[in-house]
């Protein structure tokens, strides 16, 4: 009886074990399906894929090969790299097909990732004779890596190095990291073209900074006029310790990065300074009173430095800044009360003053949040920030309570008050007095001074332009300082009634903001001119072609005498990189237009003609 029971239990155990194995296999299949779904949507890194798959099955190898033969460029190139990593035998067997691919990146990967001696000399010669400089450079690298080096490799690299085309020289610098040509990397950092300098920084990183003679050109790249080069150099500066005789100039270059207008440059400079040059952080102290993005980056670097003397200085700064911001918030509430009671010529000036005061309050709050983030870590503080950004009142209340619990009290208390606008009730506020305007005229912040002067004495043309930009939905989240930067990038144009701004099919390289007048968007349809939309003051026209770089999908014409502000594509893209919220508003704007177009088509099957 006991033996029978044991047998039954054993059988049950086996069945349960089989069930667990089946469940595990099913879960793994779901996991792999998710991995391949991410591969198809280009949302997967090679390291993630390698960790998830491990040793691929024949079916998975076949699927990667199908991706390589497919029409999706990014999936094709990813699959080629993945196959080389996960199944070198299958990759080697596929080399003739890969080397004949129409995709130059796939050909380059074949040369770069093939096992030593897997590519015959005639194949190297054929690749080196092509037009693509990166494939030619990869052929030279592959030729130098074999047991019998290919004699033609050096000549290929020398020809690329001497070329006038910067893309050819960049390919040479890329190859230098694989063959250990440190002199070529150092020379690449001095190249006159930013494309070559950028690739030299990347090769410098592949060599882990072990490039003799590169300290001077590398530090120069930390101040490079090309923002892409500066970003990449600063990212590498986090992991690179300069020679002792270059330490001071290195620290000065990092401090200079903190004052950049580029968000990524500021962040990387702050991190590099905290890690590599904490003793030089005193250089950044004069930047604290700026009350802008530079000041925020300095707060981050000083708090994370761990130095008690610097922490004390940043605490003094924040306590003063938050106290001043609380007073400014009270004044902003009083301005709001004045706006409710006033009309006529004074209203625009007071509206501008309120924007200037609110910008100052938001700057102080951002400095405080940055200090909290540096003290408690980005991940630890992320929950609080998500709650503060929530549209639900209860979530914001809970986030503020958590912030207060995080501490320290000297920071969390004043910060929490600034983050609650209802603390400053405009209904009970009294109008500004002459003494208030006199005090604002002496304020430390430039925009508080300038906007108070505008409210007291009237708006000049520059201030009118800033108000006009602030009213544009695409830019209404930007501060006055940021709007002034945008305004400097724009030019003003005037169009007479009936004059076209652009026609359907034109190459779209500019965005238009309507300052005065009206613009009609129209399209020829079945022999008629159909009006799609009309945009008045504050409207934005032409942004789709600026972002997607496709020809204009419709024509635009001035309905009346019209004035617009014009922004070129390259400048708009720089703004979007610095201020991603602009892109978010662009998406909202596009969604509104698509919804309006759908409604128009549903209710008006015969669109309006001229």
In this structure, is residue 450 part of a structural domain? yes
Looking at 162, 186, 215, the residue that finishes a domain is 162
For strand 562-568 and strand 528-535, is the pairing parallel, antiparallel, or unpaired?
Answer: unpaired
pLDDT value of position 346: 60
pTM for this entry: 0.66
- Cα–Cα distance for residue pair 203/198, rounded to 1 Å: 9
In this structure, is residue 402 part of a structural domain? yes
Other beta carbons within 10 angstroms of residue 502's beta carbon come to: 20
Looking at 442, 459, 476, the residue that finishes a domain is 459
| 334 vs 495, residue with greater confidence | 495
Per-residue model confidence as pLDDT tens digits over 166-202: 999 999 999 999 999 999 999 999 999 999 999 999 9
Domain count, the chain: 3
DSSP class per residue in 448-508: HHHHHHHHHH---HHHHHHHHHHTSGGGTTS-HHHHHHHHHH-EEEEE-TT-EEE-TTSB-
Q: Name which of 28-37, 178-187, 225-234, 567-576 the model is least confident about.
A: 28-37
Q: Do 454 and 492 share a structural domain?
A: no
pLDDT value of position 602: 59
Whose CA is closest to 534, among 545, 515, 520? 520
- The DSSP symbol for 356 reads H
Interhelix angle 293-304/346-376, rounded to 10 degrees, is 20
Q: Do 515 and 433 share a structural domain?
A: no
Residue 299 pLDDT exceeds 50? yes
% of the chain at pLDDT higher than 70: 83
Looking at 139, 162, 185, the residue that finishes a domain is 162
Find the mean pLDDT for residues 404-415.
Answer: 93
Residue 302 pLDDT exceeds 70? yes
| 510 vs 51, residue with greater confidence | 510
Q: Do 450 and 548 share a structural domain?
A: no
Handedness of CA 39, 42, 48, 49 (dihedral sign): positive
Per-residue model confidence as pLDDT tens digits over 28-66: 444 444 444 444 444 445 555 555 556 778 888 888 888
Strand pairing partners for 272?
A: none
Q: Name which of 13-22, 53-62, 75-84, 431-440 the model is least confident about.
A: 13-22
Q: Do 321 and 454 share a structural domain?
A: yes
The span from the first CA to the last CA of the chain, in angstroms, equals 97
Distance of CA 177 to the CA centre of its chain: 27
pLDDT value of position 527: 65
Rounded to 5°, angle at Cα 444 from 443 and 446 = 90
Confidence of residue 301 (pLDDT cuts 50, 70, 90): confident
Average pLDDT value over all residues in the chain: 83
Whose CA is closest to 459, among 537, 338, 344, 345? 345
- Cα–Cα distance for residue pair 414/400, rounded to 1 Å: 11
Block residue for tokens 């080399």 = 95
- The DSSP symbol for 551 reads B
In this structure, is residue 333 part of a structural domain? yes
Confidence of residue 589 (pLDDT cuts 50, 70, 90): low
Q: Do 428 and 558 share a structural domain?
A: no
Alpha helices in 342-445 (DSSP H): 346-376, 378-388, 393-406, 409-418, 434-440
Using the CB atoms, write b or e for 421-435: b if 16+ within 10 Å.
eeebebeebeebeee
In this structure, is residue 470 part of a structural domain? no
Residue 482 pLDDT exceeds 70? yes
In this structure, is residue 70 part of a structural domain? yes
Whose CA is closest to 238, among 257, 224, 225, 262? 257
For strand 510-516 and strand 500-502, is the pairing parallel, antiparallel, or unpaired?
Answer: unpaired
Are 551 and 508 in contact by the 8 Å Cβ rule? The answer is yes
Other beta carbons within 10 angstroms of residue 93's beta carbon come to: 12
In this structure, is residue 10 part of a structural domain? no
Alpha-carbon torsion, ordered 327, 331, 332, 334, to 10 deg: 140
Find the mean pLDDT for residues 209-238.
Answer: 94
Q: Do 520 and 389 share a structural domain?
A: no
Give the number of C-alpha atoms closer than 13 A to the C-alpha of residue 304, restricted to the C-beta side: 22
Q: Name which of 423-427, 429-433, 543-547 the model is least confident about.
A: 423-427
Q: Do 438 and 515 share a structural domain?
A: no
Q: Do 440 and 488 share a structural domain?
A: no
Give the number of C-alpha atoms closer than 13 A to the C-alpha of residue 91, restricted to the C-beta side: 25
Whose CA is closest to 80, among 169, 29, 132, 100? 100
Rounded to 5°, angle at Cα 133 from 131 and 134 = 125
Q: Do 342 and 444 share a structural domain?
A: yes
333: tokens are: 């509430």
Residue 11 pLDDT exceeds 60? no
Find the mean pLDDT for residues 243-253.
Answer: 92
Q: Could you give phi then psi for residue 523, rounded to 5 degrees? A: -150, 140
- Cα–Cα distance for residue pair 149/489, rounded to 1 Å: 53
| 164 vs 574, residue with greater confidence | 164
Residue 362 pLDDT exceeds 50? yes
In this structure, is residue 386 part of a structural domain? yes
- Cα–Cα distance for residue pair 478/31, rounded to 1 Å: 42
Strand pairing partners for 397?
A: none
Q: Which helix (H) or strand (E) holds 13?
A: helix 2-40
Domain containing 421: what range? 310-459
For residue 494, give the CATH number of its domain. 2.60.120.10
Q: Name which of 61-65, 105-109, 202-206 the model is least confident about.
A: 61-65
Contacts (Cβ under 8 Å, ≥6 apart) of 227? 260, 262, 265, 574
63: tokens are: 């699927």
Per the document, the length of the chain is 610
Q: Do 509 and 450 share a structural domain?
A: no
Whose CA is closest to 270, among 362, 371, 411? 371
Q: Which helix (H) or strand (E) holds 580?
A: helix 580-603
Find the mean pLDDT for residues 348-375.
Answer: 92
DSSP class per residue in 104-165: HHHHHHHHHHSPTT-S-HHHHHHHHTSS-HHHHHHHHHHHHSSSS--TTHHHHHHHHHT-SS
In whole angstroms, how far apart are CA 467 and each of 192, 342, 516, 585, 594? 41, 18, 13, 18, 27
Q: Could you give phi then psi for residue 268, rounded to 5 degrees? A: -65, -40
DSSP class per residue in 224-287: -SSHHHHHHHHHHHTT-PPPGGGHHHHHHHHHHHTT-S-HHHHHHHHHHHHHH-GGGGGGGGGG
In this structure, is residue 378 part of a structural domain? yes
Q: Do 126 and 60 share a structural domain?
A: yes
Confidence of residue 142 (pLDDT cuts 50, 70, 90): very high
The backbone region for 460, taken as left when phi is positive above 0, alpha when psi lies in -120 to 50, beta otherwise, is: beta
Strand pairing partners for 500?
A: 557
Q: Do 314 and 442 share a structural domain?
A: yes
């Amino acid at each position: 009886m006991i033996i029978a029971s044991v047998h039954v239990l054993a059988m049950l155990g086996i069945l349960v074990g089989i069930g667990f194995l089946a469940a595990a296999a099913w879960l793994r299949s779901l996991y792999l399906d998710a991995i391949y779904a991410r591969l198809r949507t280009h949302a997967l890194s090679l390291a993630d894929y390698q960790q998830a798959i491990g040793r691929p099955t024949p079916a998975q190898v076949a699927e990667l090969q199908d991706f390589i033969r497919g029409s999706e460029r990014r999936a094709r190139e990813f699959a080629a790299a993945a196959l080389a990593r996960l199944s070198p035998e299958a990759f080697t067997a596929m080399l003739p097909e890969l080397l004949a691919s129409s995709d130059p990146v796939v050909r380059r990967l074949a040369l770069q990732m093939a096992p030593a001696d897997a590519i015959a000399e005639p194949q190297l010669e054929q690749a080196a004779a092509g037009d693509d400089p990166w494939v030619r450079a990869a052929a030279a690298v592959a030729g130098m890596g074999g047991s019998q080096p290919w004699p033609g490799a050096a000549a290929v690299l020398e020809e690329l190095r001497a070329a006038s085309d910067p893309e050819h020289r960049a390919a040479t610098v890329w190859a230098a990291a694989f063959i250990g040509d440190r002199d070529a990397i150092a020379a690449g950092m001095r190249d006159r073209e930013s494309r070559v300098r950028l690739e030299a920084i990347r090769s410098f990183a592949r060599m882990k900074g072990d490039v003799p003679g590169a300290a001077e050109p590398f530090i120069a790249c930390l101040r490079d006029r090309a923002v892409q080069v500066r970003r990449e150099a600063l990212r590498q500066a986090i992991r690179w310790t300069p020679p002792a005789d270059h330490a001071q100039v290195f620290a000065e270059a990092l401090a200079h990065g903190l004052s950049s207008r580029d968000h990524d440059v500021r962040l990387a400079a702050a991190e590099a300074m905290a890690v590599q040059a904490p003793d030089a952080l005193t250089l950044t102290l004069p930047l604290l009173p700026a009350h802008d993005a530079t000041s925020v980056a300095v707060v981050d670097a000083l708090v994370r430095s761990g130095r008690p003397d610097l922490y004390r200085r940043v605490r003094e700064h924040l306590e003063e800044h938050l106290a001043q911001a609380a007073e400014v918030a009270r004044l902003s509430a009083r301005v709001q009360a004045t706006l409710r009671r006033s009309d006529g010529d004074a209203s625009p000036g007071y509206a501008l003053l309120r924007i200037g005061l609110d910008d100052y309050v938001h700057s102080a709050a951002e400095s405080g949040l940055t200090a909290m983030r540096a003290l408690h870590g980005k991940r630890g503080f992320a929950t609080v920030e998500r709650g503060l950004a929530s549209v639900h009142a209860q979530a914001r209340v809970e986030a503020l309570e958590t912030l207060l619990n995080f501490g320290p009290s000297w920071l969390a208390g004043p910060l929490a008050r600034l983050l609650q606008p209802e603390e400053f009730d405009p209904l009970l506020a009294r109008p500004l007095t002459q003494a208030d305007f006199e005090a604002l005229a002496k304020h430390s912040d430039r925009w508080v001074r300038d906007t108070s002067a505008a409210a007291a004495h009237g708006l000049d043309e520059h201030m009118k332009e800033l108000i006009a930009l602030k009213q544009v939905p695409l830019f209404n989240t930007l501060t006055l300082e940021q709007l002034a930067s945008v305004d400097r990038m724009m030019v003003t144009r005037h169009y007479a009634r009936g004059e076209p701004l652009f026609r359907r099919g034109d190459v779209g390289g500019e965005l238009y903001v309507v300052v005065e007048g009206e613009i009609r968007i129209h399209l020829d349809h079945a022999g008629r001119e159909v009006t799609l939309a009309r945009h008045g003051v504050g409207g934005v026209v032409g942004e789709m072609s600026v972002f997607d770089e496709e020809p204009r999908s419709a024509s635009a014409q001035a309905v009346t005498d019209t004035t617009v502000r014009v922004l070129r594509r390259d400048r708009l893209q720089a703004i979007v990189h610095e201020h991603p919220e602009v892109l978010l508003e662009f998406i909202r704007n596009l969604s509104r237009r698509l919804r309006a177009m759908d409604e128009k088509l549903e209710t008006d099957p015969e669109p309006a003609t001229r």
